[in-house]
Chain A
């Protein structure tokens, strides 16, 4: 074990000491945010710009910020059926607090079939595939290996339907912003063409498109992960509000008979 990265000596060195290059606040005086005074140097920043500055320490162009902002906007669906939104709404129906409901809804957005889980896989797949194809690898083989490993290709196909209503709008915006010529977006389109030509017939979904657009902006996987966090947030408050306004407990009521039991028949407790 490397004693520089672990061990009681390292812990002891950090007892009562908080070192940070990210920032701190001086009560009654000022706040330092990644080396800048929040209220005199960063005060005119748009919130998304600040959020991205906080994640990356870098500044982005107006067009890049617009794209990153719109990526969240285009996927903010106030549909209570969606599993994360439903958590927020059930909190409203159960008369919990909005913060608890939406915090839990955001947490479950880190799912395997949608949200952060698939975002990370889609991003990783594009990065690996670009490396492999640029090194002479065969794209169809990359796709086949991905399918063998995960039984799906992240960023292609969709849980509910094969096709994504968001993509045409996001592609139009990225074109208008002149952010549609990057190598990852071109690769993502080639992957789609390859898959559509095969028996898989899976179209690129929003996770695939967004991963490509953001990879072309130059974010690292961790930066992309943290950037994506608020993606669904704006769809959640309407779900919470509506459920809160209806009589308590009336969202998704389930009569006893609607539990489709598939387990053991009645039996006596053994002790």
Chain B
């Protein structure tokens, strides 16, 4: 609902467009946070520069861009074992639309187990606890008392792997690489305090935990981190969905269901 003098107008701090003289609906120039996108940025900026600019409203430093790009590579493909990629492949294998495969990956990759909501919750924890190990211990020990949410109650410490035994090698590799950034504050602290945090969480760090710390180090809010995590994991989902299409459903796991007893028909 807009109450401005132009009720059909869209308010934004991100984007401005100038129209071609012959058509008010055709763009002559577009500016992102004041930067001429097609006249100046194109050919001079990286994808991650644009990403950072869109969300943080300022151009990144070289270190910030490097950190975001490294994280984007780490997140780009969760691999075909991941539930969100599995969902995308369910679309691809039966010839569903491209968008539906990505929507499937987004829906499944949105959750509290290795998904966007986990990033959101983990980043809230970074906001609350920062680099204070005592605060983290208290955070992990506090029971979740939220109710009335569309989201289910969290079943594990966000950013940690409830099925893990020890920290997986790619998680350690990603953390080590990202923690070298001079822009990072939380990541090196996470690396130094990993053992204590994992003990407090009751399970090993997951890649989502590394990503949450990296997003926090880049100055993103939990909302922004959640959104970026959803976005940055899509490339792998897309590629795997496309790959499965020509292979067909006969070459994709289907399995058989073993029925368990169900008591039915009780009146409400």
List 11 A-B residue pairs with CB atoms under 8 Å apart, sorted by A's residue number. Answer: A5-B155, A24-B256, A58-B266, A103-B100, A225-B150, A253-B25, A255-B19, A260-B10, A269-B44, A269-B45, A269-B59
Q: Which residues of B contact A10 (CB under 8 A)?
A: 163
B250 in the interface (beta carbon within 8 A): no
B16 in the interface (beta carbon within 8 A): yes
Interface residues of B (CB under 8 A from A): 1, 4, 6, 8-19, 24-28, 31, 33-36, 40-41, 44-45, 57, 59, 62, 97, 99-100, 103, 107, 147-150, 155-156, 162-165, 202-203, 253, 255-268
Q: Among the listed A18, A58, A124, A262, which residue makes an inter-chain contact with B258, where contact means beta carbons less than 8 Å apart?
A: A18
- Of all chain A residues, which has the CB nearest B5? A260
Q: Among the listed A117, A218, A256, A260, which residue makes an inter-chain contact with B25, where contact means beta carbons less than 8 Å apart?
A: A256
A175 in the interface (beta carbon within 8 A): no
Contact A57 B266 (CB under 8 A): yes
Contact B18 A256 (CB under 8 A): yes
- Of all chain A residues, which has the CB nearest B32? A263
A187 CB to nearest B CB, Å: 16
Interface residues of A (CB under 8 A from B): 1, 5-8, 10-11, 16-24, 32, 34-36, 53, 56-61, 64, 96-97, 99-100, 103-104, 107, 110, 116-117, 120-121, 123-125, 128, 154, 159-160, 217-218, 221, 225, 253-271
New A-B pairs, 15, CB < 8 Å, besides A57-B266, A259-B10, A271-B44: A7-B162, A7-B165, A22-B262, A59-B268, A99-B97, A121-B148, A256-B26, A258-B10, A259-B15, A261-B15, A263-B13, A263-B15, A264-B57, A266-B35, A269-B45
* A16, A103, A256: most-surrounded residue (chain B CB, <10 A): A256
Q: Label chain A's interface by main secondary structure.
A: mixed
A73–B4 Cα distance when bound, in Å, is 34
A265–B162 Cα distance when bound, in Å, is 48
Q: Which residues of A contact B26 (CB under 8 A)?
A: 256
A145 CB to nearest B CB, Å: 13
Q: Which residues of A contact B11 (CB under 8 A)?
A: 260, 262
B65 CB to nearest A CB, Å: 9
- Of all chain A residues, which has the CB nearest B256? A18
Q: Which residues of A contact B36 (CB under 8 A)?
A: 266, 269
Q: Which residues of B contact A53 (CB under 8 A)?
A: 264
A244–B45 Cα distance when bound, in Å, is 38
- Of all chain A residues, which has the CB nearest B34? A264
- Of all chain B residues, which has the CB nearest A117? B150
A18–B257 Cα distance when bound, in Å, is 5
B30 CB to nearest A CB, Å: 9
